[in-house]
Amino acid sequence: MLRELGNTGILKRGDNAHAVPCNGCEQGCLEDVEFSRHGDGSLIGYIVCSRRDDVGRIRVAPERLRTWVVSFDGLAAWLARELGASTCPEESLSGRLWWLRRTSVNGCSTETFLARGARWTGAKSVFATCDRLNECSSPLVLVPDRTGQRNLFGEFATVASLTRVLGLDDKLILDASAIAFGDAARPRDLSAVLRRSPDFRSVYLRGKEFGLTTNQARVVQCLYAARMNNTPDISQDHLLVEVLDTNQERLKDVFRSLKDWDQLIVPGKTKGTYRLNF
């Protein structure tokens, strides 16, 4: 398993240990390792027991001194590959936060990050300095340990623990379905996610405001009704022909004047369909 994790780049060799549990008796005391040289110049590691007179010098095999450390750069790169990213992850905060890729959770498009040290002192203020994280309306943040740290990454962040989404089956496996359907990814109260005016000309999605034209509002209203009916996907053709009665051939042409419209409306589960991004 060490070899597999080493091949992924998640584990890398650390410095040799300076102390190991002594195996000269049943006590297993942690002792410093001393070194001498063979006649050929190679090092010999050994422990000199200071507690018992009948033990003496105990040889320490070189492999007992090997240590391994987690490479978060390697972990970020592996996660990005497993999530289907075509580019390398971006280290958004040195040693603390990596942007992996844009992905989908429960049919909603979102930015995915890997965070380190979410439980360290001052973590919230550290992550608050990341512009890329702050610009995301609903980021998905992967953390090494347990969840429950959503407020560190913004009001509408989804937090998933790697302990829940990683598995072992001869090799390390990322279970993307655990991200999509885990407790942390369950939809919260709708009013906390989306607010809108009666005519849908003004929509707030996860705190981001969208000012809509009449036609844009009609599309969003239709998609909203479909979402409330638990049938969120509507075809582009239906939206253009039946809802708008327009000659435009692409939905994105209707939203050409709206910056970041793809944060409000995302592709549905089947080709040619769209849904609201919540």
Residue 275: which pLDDT band, with cuts at 50, 70 and 90? Answer: very high
Contact indicator for 278, 108 with CB cutoff of 8 Å: yes
What pLDDT score was predicted for residue 194?
84
Task: Residue 233: give its domain's CATH number.
Answer: 1.10.10
> pLDDT at residue 169 above 70?
no
- Average pLDDT along the chain: 83
Q: What percent of the chain has pLDDT over 70?
A: 85
> pLDDT at residue 150 above 70?
no
What pLDDT score was predicted for residue 191?
62
Do 147 and 212 reside in the same domain of the chain? no
The torsion angles phi and psi of 154, rounded to 5 degrees, stand at: 115, 155
Residue 109: which pLDDT band, with cuts at 50, 70 and 90? Answer: low
- Give the tens place of pLDDT for each residue, 34-74: 888 877 777 888 888 878 877 778 888 888 888 889 899 99
Please say which residue of 161, 185, 209 terminates a domain: 185
Domain count, the chain: 3
Residue 11 forms part of a structural domain = no
Tokens representing 188 are 């919260």
Do 85 and 153 reside in the same domain of the chain? yes
> pLDDT at residue 76 above 80?
yes
Residue 5 forms part of a structural domain = no
Do 84 and 131 reside in the same domain of the chain? yes
Residue 181: which pLDDT band, with cuts at 50, 70 and 90? Answer: very low
Give the pLDDT mean for 190-197.
77
Residue 183: which pLDDT band, with cuts at 50, 70 and 90? Answer: very low
Please give the radius of gyration of the chain, using alpha carbons only, rounded to the nearest integer: 27
More confident residue, 182 or 34: 34
Q: What is the DSSP string of the chain?
A: -HHHHHHHTSEEE-PPPSEEE--SSTT--EEE-EEEE-TTS-EEEEEE-SS-TTT-EEEE-GGGG--EEE-HHHHHHHHHHHTT-SS--EEEETTTEEEEEEEEETTEEEEEEEES-TTSTTHHHHHTT-HHHHT-SS-EEEESS-S--GGGG-TT-EEEEHHHHEEESSSEEE-HHHHHHSGGGS---HHHHEEE-TTSSEEEETTEEEE--HHHHHHHHHHHHHHHTT---EEHHIIIIIIS----S-HHHHTTTSTTGGGTEEE-SSTTEEEE--
What pLDDT score was predicted for residue 139?
81
> pLDDT at residue 186 above 80?
no
Contact indicator for 25, 50 with CB cutoff of 8 Å: no
Give the pLDDT mean for 81-93.
89
Do 166 and 268 reside in the same domain of the chain? no
Question: Can you give the residue range of the structural domain that contains 228?
Answer: 190-276
Residue 109 forms part of a structural domain = yes
Do 30 and 53 reside in the same domain of the chain? yes
Residue 218 forms part of a structural domain = yes
What pLDDT score was predicted for residue 148?
55
pTM of the shown model? 0.60
CA dihedral angle for residue 126, residue 131, residue 135, residue 137, rounded to 10 degrees:
-20
Out of 101-105, 146-150, 273-277, least confident range: 146-150
Please say which residue of 31, 65, 99 terminates a domain: 65
Do 175 and 234 reside in the same domain of the chain? no
Out of 22-26, 235-239, 251-255, least confident range: 22-26
Do 181 and 195 reside in the same domain of the chain? no
Contact indicator for 105, 111 with CB cutoff of 8 Å: no
How many angstroms separate the CA atoms of 166 and 172, rounded? 7
Encode 205-223 in three state secondary structure. Answer: ECCEEEECCHHHHHHHHHH
- Give the tens place of pLDDT for each residue, 6-23: 777 888 888 888 898 988
Do 200 and 221 reside in the same domain of the chain? yes
Do 121 and 75 reside in the same domain of the chain? yes
State the maximum Cα–Cα separation within the chain, in Å, rounded to a whole number: 95
What are the residues whose beta carbons fall under 8 Å from the beta carbon of 5, sequence distance 6 or more?
11, 172
Do 112 and 205 reside in the same domain of the chain? no
Please say which residue of 159, 185, 211 terminates a domain: 185
What pLDDT score was predicted for residue 185?
43
Tokens representing 102 are 């844009």
How many angstroms separate the CA atoms of 149 and 166, rounded? 19
What pLDDT score was predicted for residue 93?
95
Do 203 and 266 reside in the same domain of the chain? yes
Residue 54 forms part of a structural domain = yes
> pLDDT at residue 101 above 60?
yes
Do 46 and 120 reside in the same domain of the chain? no
> pLDDT at residue 252 above 70?
yes
